[in-house]
Amino acid sequence: MKSIFLRSPAKINLCLKVLNKRPDGYHDLSTLFEKISLYDDLRFVLTSSGKIRIFCDHPSIPCGPKNLIYKAARMLQMDFGISQGVDIHLTKRIPVAAGLAGGSSNAASTLLGLNKLWHLHLPPKTLIAYAKRLGSDVPLFIYKYNFCIGTGRGDRIRKVRINKKLWHVIITPRLKVYSGEVFRAVKRKLTKRNDNANILTHELRKKDLRKVSQFLSNDLEAAIVRVHPQLRTIKNNIQRISGLDVCFSGSGPSIFGLVPTRKKAQVIAEKLGRHYAYVVVVRTL
């Protein structure tokens, strides 16, 4: 095998509860993740140069050591004495710094792809340990779960069995919002443990989507709009135009709503597309 192609999916947070601040400076979270049908494409090609090279024409993507793809590849190369190099071709479709974890997904795909291409035969447990070193959202994409609950920093993953494919409309304003600045803007003490993720899981299993929409929540919203106040107005406008209950994903700025059918999602997306440049219809993987 000299090359491998992988699709790298995005995620949304159907609910996100911020708990206490940890001694390491991070926050403990409880979140319900959903992987969605919005992808980046990654193609890995073996080379004899020993170099890790990233090719991407997206203007916001670094193609050197700052990229999580590079960091993931370099860790494996160094730890296992790999003399081969790899050219990594990234086709970017997931918006950058948008709360959809595109960079984390790319890093996880790199671990999975190079594990096969370099014949490392690393078990999932080892890949997850590498993923945790790269970032809090990276382990999610090592697991083959469409729905799961994340705890700890969001990096402890538990599968959730939900036999339902959800449709969403996602709007991403032209703003980059970085998770570090949002978490630094969290003001209130967040110590009360809450079972939002399990409550929402229960409602999803009952398949009453109107009720599910009422449970969409994100404790980071106040911090997101503190960093970028214009996002409050944008969210309110989206809610008014669409008629949906909408929510920020992760640390934002992407805003999503739950829609019962693909047809209705496309109608709403067309309305929103008259006002916002990036509007997509997605479903659960």
> In whole angstroms, what is the distance from residue 170 CA to residue 167 CA?
10
Residue 55 CB neighbour total at 10 angstroms: 13
SS (H, E, C) the chain: CCEEEEEEEEEEEEEEEEEEECCCCCEEEEEEEEEEEEEEEEEEEEECCCCEEEECCCCCCCCCCCCHHHHHHHHHHHHCCCCCEEEEEEECCCCCCCCCCHHHHHHHHHHHHHHHHCCCCCCHHHHHHHHHHHCCCCHHHCCCCCEEEEECCCCEEEECCCCCCCEEEEECCCCCCCHHHHHHCCCCCCCCCCCHHHHHHHHHHHCCHHHHHHCCEECCHHHHHHHCCHHHHHHHHHHHHHCCCEEECCCCCCEEEEECCHHHHHHHHHHHHCCCCCEEEEEEC
| Annotated catalytic residue within 28, 40, 137, 219 | 137
Backbone angles phi, psi at 66, to 5 degrees: -75, -15
> In whole angstroms, what is the distance from residue 194 CA to residue 18 CA?
9
Indicate the angle between helix axes 262-273 and 230-242, nearest 10 degrees: 130
The answer to whether 11 is a known catalytic residue is yes
User: Is the sign of the CA dihedral 192, 184, 178, 254 positive or negative?
Assistant: positive
The answer to whether 28 is a known catalytic residue is no
Residues labelled as active-site residues: 11, 137
